Amino acid sequence: MSYLEKYHFWLENEYFDEPAKAELRALSGNKEEIKDRFYKDLEFGTGGLRGKIAMGTNRMNIYTVSRTTEGLANYLLEESPKDPHSLTPQNYLDRGVVIAYDCRHKSREFAETVALVLNANNIKTFLFEDIRPTPELSFTVRYLHAIVGIVITASHNPPEYNGYKIYGSDGGQIIPEIADKIIYHINQIKDYSLIKKIELFTATKKGLFNIIGSEIDQVYLQKVKELTIRDGDDLDKSIKIVYTPLHGAGNIPIRMILKERGFTNVFVVEEQTHPDPNFSTVESPNPENPAAFELAIQLGQKVNAEILIATDPDSDRIGLAVKNNPHHGEEHPFLSLRGSETTEAISSNIKSVEQSSHPSGIDSRFRGNDIEDSGNDTNLSLRAPVGSEAIPSVIARNDNDEAISTHNNQYTVLNGNQVGVLLLHYILSSKKELSQLPTNGFIVKTIVTSDMSRVIADSFGVETYETLTGFKFICHQVKVIEEKEKKSFLFGYEESIGYLAGDFVRDKDAVIASMLICEMAAYYHKKGLNLLQVLEDLYKKYGYYEEDQHSIYLEGQEGEKKIAEIMEVFRKDLPQIKNMEIVRINDILIGKSYHPKSLTLKTTSLDLPLSNVLKIVFSDGSWYCLRPSGTEPKIKLYLSFQAKTKKEALQKLHHVKEAIFKKMNSIIKPV
């Protein structure tokens, strides 16, 4: 059917209720909106659904959620006879599906819809009584030996979005091979009226619909607490900490775990403690975005807090800000404004955005600029992230690279790579000192995460594994290594502020990370150090690493073609950069790593799933990586450069980035 035929079908078919039809009737005459809502089905990606909440086949609503769940149910019914651990198919289905949700619009309604569709297929469900962190869902799947977990969340997306993520029986997000099987079953459902239904009362009476209360919370938090490395006299538990859950699910569990650990000065941003689907106090509930820390910074100044932590709505990711040390001097590695350095115009077709109001660590070069299609001319322009206007009381640098202090108590927001190496070094060094470091330990990171972690791990005799971007790949790798090689997982992280320790959760976990971050800060505070000083010491010991990322937005069918062309051109003709020798080209689309001079010279196979990713490695170990997004009309550029000094690393990064943008611009808007 055409999009208009689908639209009229929804208007006329008795399966769709009157409120749905009323919403659709209000669109009459708005062909563009009707087309956008019905020109395709909302795509089920490798992790699940994500989209705007509204009526239509290309939106999140009870009908698209029901269709997806019916497809999942059919997949589970097909798999049930194959399970070697179940005596009968029904034994398998009775292990059930755990369902969690966050504070977003329609989350509870969607969660109940999911449960009842599964119940109608005779599959038992366990629904949390209220909002819970996504990592607790992962834990509960493992703890209850469930067959699947589902969480209704759109993570840190804007308020008008919601989503649907599926987890396997190991508690990890499903990998592409499983997603493909589920997608097949979803696509077989052409008629919404064939989706099975059951009333809540009936499902409850049959024992199919079950509610999970606080009993799981206590078990989960106890497991988190058992990850304690240092305690007692090693820590200054009077350290002042500010926490904001950004209106999300982290509020109760994170405050509880910090209280149980004995931290006595935890100050919470009260305006952001209550669940709010509109995230009214922030432009974006994303702790990777410096603007999300605005209220935390204000409270931090008031109470003179040492660190500020913020978690996203489903509490799987965590951001960290650290009070700047006034005695550490101008050479501190985080007091240089990256805005003026990184938003420099690369060519006449690339326009810069002034970001001189931002400190290093909270501006474009730590957080990544967005580059978007500038209308009909298809020019590239650097675009500041949402909510990146000036925040009071942070450090800024002017064009002369001089620090400008706007308040006595300033804070620097660290990026995911920096928090990751701080946590990694703390975990490994502490375990070694306490004779707890296993001889067969390993860590896992993504291919776009800083290589500084590998250098640190090597220094402790710990092996590093790499995966594609996404925590589902990190946790799948952990599962494979633990099962096949019997090694001990120590830590996993990615540059987009996701971290994991322990063996009882199979996703990034902001509850675990919050406890370890506060423990780490308290340990160093007892020694008279703050985390910025510790990070500077790590740079001096292991080398300076400068990371950057940009998103190039190219929308529509023409933009899709340009993204494909960029990848094709870079595969055939890389920009040549003076004094930067390329030694490896890792083309993950073909699964090969080869020398730039010849496909047959020193070619090796990459132990990664095939994906449209291209990574260019230089002789000094620096690299850049290109990766089209699978969910948005953009291509992402990641850069990582290392040197003995910060200045040298920055110079390399700018030099290479200029050449890349020049090449991209010639493709997007040829002369």
pLDDT of residue 99: 99
Residue 16 clears pLDDT 60, i.e. is over it: yes
Range in 155-164, 293-302, 346-355, 650-659 with the lowest mean pLDDT: 346-355
Residue 163 clears pLDDT 50, i.e. is over it: yes
Asked if the structure places residue 111 within a domain, the reply is yes
- Here the tokens at position 58 are 């290309």
Name residue 441's beta-bridge partners: 488
Mean pLDDT of 478-494: 95
More confident residue, 406 or 60: 60
207 in the same domain as 62: yes
Give all strands of the β-sheet with 350-351 in edge-to-edge order: 350-351, 380-383, 369-373, 544-553, 634-643, 623-628, 614-618, 582-587, 592-594, 604-605
633 in the same domain as 571: yes
Asked if the structure places residue 252 within a domain, the reply is yes
232 in the same domain as 91: no
100 in the same domain as 63: yes
Domain that holds residue 118: 40-213
Write down which residue in 279, 297, 324 finishes a domain. Answer: 324
Question: Residue 409: pLDDT band by 50, 70, 90 thresholds?
Answer: low
Asked if the structure places residue 531 within a domain, the reply is no
The rounded distance, in Å, linking the Cα atoms of 448 and 228 is 29
200 in the same domain as 173: yes
pLDDT of residue 338: 32
For the chain, what percent of residues have pLDDT higher than 70?
Answer: 86
Name residue 463's beta-bridge partners: 442
Residue 125 clears pLDDT 90, i.e. is over it: yes
Of the residues 80, 155, 315, 360, only one is catalytic, namely 155
Residue burial 420-440, b: 16+ Cβ < 10 Å; e: rest: bbbbbbbbbebbeeeeebeee
Q: What CATH code is carried by the domain that includes residue 393?
A: 3.30.310.50
Closest CA to 371 of 632, 655, 104: 632
Q: What CATH code is carried by the domain that includes residue 313?
A: 3.40.120.10
Q: Is 611 a catalytic residue?
A: no
Asked if the structure places residue 438 within a domain, the reply is no
Residue burial 609-626, b: 16+ Cβ < 10 Å; e: rest: eebebbbbbbebebbbbb
- Here the tokens at position 482 are 């633990």
Question: Residue 374: pLDDT band by 50, 70, 90 thresholds?
Answer: very low
Asked if the structure places residue 298 within a domain, the reply is yes
What SS3 class is residue 149?
strand
The rounded distance, in Å, linking the Cα atoms of 407 and 411 is 10
Write down which residue in 324, 348, 365 finishes a domain. Answer: 324
Tell me whether residue 298 is exposed, middle or buried, using C-beta atoms within 10 angstroms of its C-beta: 0 to 12, 13 to 18, 19 or more: middle
Mean pLDDT of 113-121: 99
179 in the same domain as 291: no
Asked if the structure places residue 561 within a domain, the reply is yes
pTM: 0.87
pLDDT of residue 671: 55
Question: Residue 285: pLDDT band by 50, 70, 90 thresholds?
Answer: very high
More confident residue, 156 or 328: 156
DSSP conformation class of 230: S
For the chain, what percent of residues have pLDDT higher than 90?
Answer: 78
Write down which residue in 159, 183, 213 finishes a domain. Answer: 213
The rounded distance, in Å, linking the Cα atoms of 43 and 57 is 10
647 in the same domain as 570: yes
Residue 330 clears pLDDT 80, i.e. is over it: no
Closest CA to 470 of 53, 99, 165, 151: 165
Range in 64-68, 265-269, 550-554 with the lowest mean pLDDT: 550-554
Residue 367 clears pLDDT 50, i.e. is over it: no
pLDDT of residue 559: 87
What SS3 class is residue 640?
strand
180 in the same domain as 303: no
Q: What angle do CA 171, 177, 179 make, to 5 degrees?
A: 65
Closest CA to 358 of 390, 322, 381, 336: 390
Mean pLDDT of 431-457: 98
209 in the same domain as 82: yes
pLDDT in tens, 608-628: 999 999 999 999 999 999 999
Asked if the structure places residue 443 within a domain, the reply is no
646 in the same domain as 566: yes
pLDDT of residue 47: 67
Residue 205 clears pLDDT 50, i.e. is over it: yes
Q: Where are the beta strands (DSSP E) in 408-541?
A: 411-413, 441-446, 463-467, 488-494, 498-500
Mean pLDDT of the chain: 87
pLDDT of residue 377: 36
pLDDT of residue 230: 98
User: For residue 5, what are the contacts with CB-CB under 8 A and spacing of at least 6?
Assistant: none
pLDDT of residue 598: 66
pLDDT in tens, 538-577: 999 999 999 998 989 887 778 889 999 999 999 999 998 9
371-to-32, 352, 357, 383, 563 alpha-carbon distances in Å: 25, 10, 20, 6, 13
363 in the same domain as 228: no
Count of the separate structural domains present in the chain: 3
pLDDT in tens, 290-322: 999 999 999 999 999 999 999 999 999 999 999
190 in the same domain as 224: no
pLDDT of residue 44: 87
The rounded distance, in Å, linking the Cα atoms of 449 and 474 is 12
pLDDT of residue 48: 86
The rounded distance, in Å, linking the Cα atoms of 540 and 491 is 23
Asked if the structure places residue 357 within a domain, the reply is yes
What amino acid occupies position 223? K
Question: Residue 87: pLDDT band by 50, 70, 90 thresholds?
Answer: confident
More confident residue, 44 or 149: 149
Where do we find the tokens 């978690």? Answer: 311
Rounded to 5 degrees, what are φ and ψ at 665?
-65, -35
pLDDT of residue 326: 61
Contact 436, 428 (CB under 8 A): no
Name residue 616's beta-bridge partners: 585, 624
